[in-house]
Chain A
Amino acid sequence: QVQLQESGPGLVKPSETLSLTCTVSAGSIRSYYWSWIRQPPGKGLEWIGYVYNIANTKYNPSLRSRVTISADTSRDQVSLRVTSVTAADTAVYFCARGFGDYLFDSWGRGTLVTVSS
């Protein structure tokens, strides 16, 4: 059964770049959609975007100008970068897999990222 593990700094300063990695175990990242989803404290889930077959990406328009999602098939890792972060980017960030672009069939446990000076 595939397992997903998010990793990265838990604290990022305002205006800097948030970078997270999702490591996929017991499965290849090829031929699946890999999304990032976040949940600010006390708020709902927000889809950030996905990467598919390495080169195909789609992003939430609300974040598109600041977000990059990429995939490394040699390491079975999916990465997220969010530039120019503010306190509003404080959230638990989840990595999720989908066999279609519109659903998420496996998730990681999430990692909390706090934006603060």
Chain B
Amino acid sequence: DIQMTQSPSSLSASVGDRVTITCRASQRITNFLNWYQHKPGKAPKFLIYAASNLQSGVPSRFSGSGSGTDFTLTISGLQPEDFATYYCQQGYTSPYTFGQGTRLEIK
């Protein structure tokens, strides 16, 4: 299975900050990389597909980049509703696997 490693595992930031979360795959996955946001008790939300494509309705302060094995999710200008846990997921090959998550907390 392809292992997905996110860093950091947790992050403290303030409203208005710019934050970057990194995701690394254990082998090359071209751009088959997706990002999700999850808040406790809520349905996870699909943010970005194919590494850099914003899902419809997702605010433009979210952006993704990367290819091969290294990927990033950037949130520019944090809003109060952005504090959540973020997961990357590879869709290159089955079984599809997720990173362990990055918990974004309010400083």
A residues sitting closer than 8 Å to B (CB atoms) are 4, 44-47, 58, 60-62, 94, 96, 100-110
Contact = CB atoms under 8 A, between A and B. Distances in A.
B95 A103 contact: no
A38 B21 CA distance: 23
Nearest to B90: A102
A-B pairs, top 6 by smallest CB distance, nearest first, are A102-B91, A45-B98, A60-B95, A107-B43, A47-B96, A107-B44
Contacts of A61: 95
Given A44-B99, A44-B100, A100 B46 contact: no
Contacts of A58: 94
B91 A44 contact: no
B46 A105 contact: yes
25 contacts: A44-B98, A44-B99, A44-B100, A45-B87, A46-B98, A47-B98, A60-B95, A61-B95, A94-B43, A100-B91, A101-B91, A102-B32, A102-B34, A103-B46, A103-B49, A103-B91, A104-B34, A104-B36, A104-B44, A105-B55, A106-B43, A107-B45, A108-B43, A109-B42, A110-B43
Contact of A94 (B34, B44, B55, B91): B44
